Amino acid sequence: MNETTRRCADVVLPGAAWLEDIGCKATHTHVYLMDRILQPAGEAWPTQDVLKGLADRLAVTDFYRWASQEELIDAVLDHPATGGATIASLRANGGRML
């Protein structure tokens, strides 16, 4: 927490930073897999866990249907434009898809 957070925020969610969770990045010509580099600090949670926890507490059903961040990324990548790429296929290609 920084001074701005302490002064301005009514609620602070324990979300992890981008280096603390798996993700992907797309450019005009490539899709890159961004693996977790660091373990979440302190009491931080992966973003999917924060979203699922909020949905559960608010009794919102069918909000986040994926069991893991990897499943979500595979669902996003499963598109004709990517040739049906998956995290496993990106890892096999050094973390990128041409």
pLDDT digit string, tens, across residues 32-88: 888 889 988 888 888 888 888 889 999 998 888 888 888 988 988 888 888 888 888
Q: Which DSSP helix (H) or strand (E) runs through 34?
A: strand 31-34
3-state secondary structure of 64: coil
Give the Cβ contact number of residue 98 at 10 Å.
Answer: 7
Question: Is position 2 within any domain?
Answer: no
- Tell me the C-alpha distance between 46 and 72, whole Å: 13
The pair of three-digit structure tokens given for residue 92, joined into one six-digit string: 């096999």
2 pLDDT band (50/70/90 cuts)? confident
Give the structural domain span for 62: 13-97
Does 55 reside within a domain? Answer: yes
Residue 8 included in any domain = no
Tally of structural domains, the chain? 1
Give domain status of residue 5, yes or no: no
Residue 75 included in any domain? yes
Entry pTM: 0.66
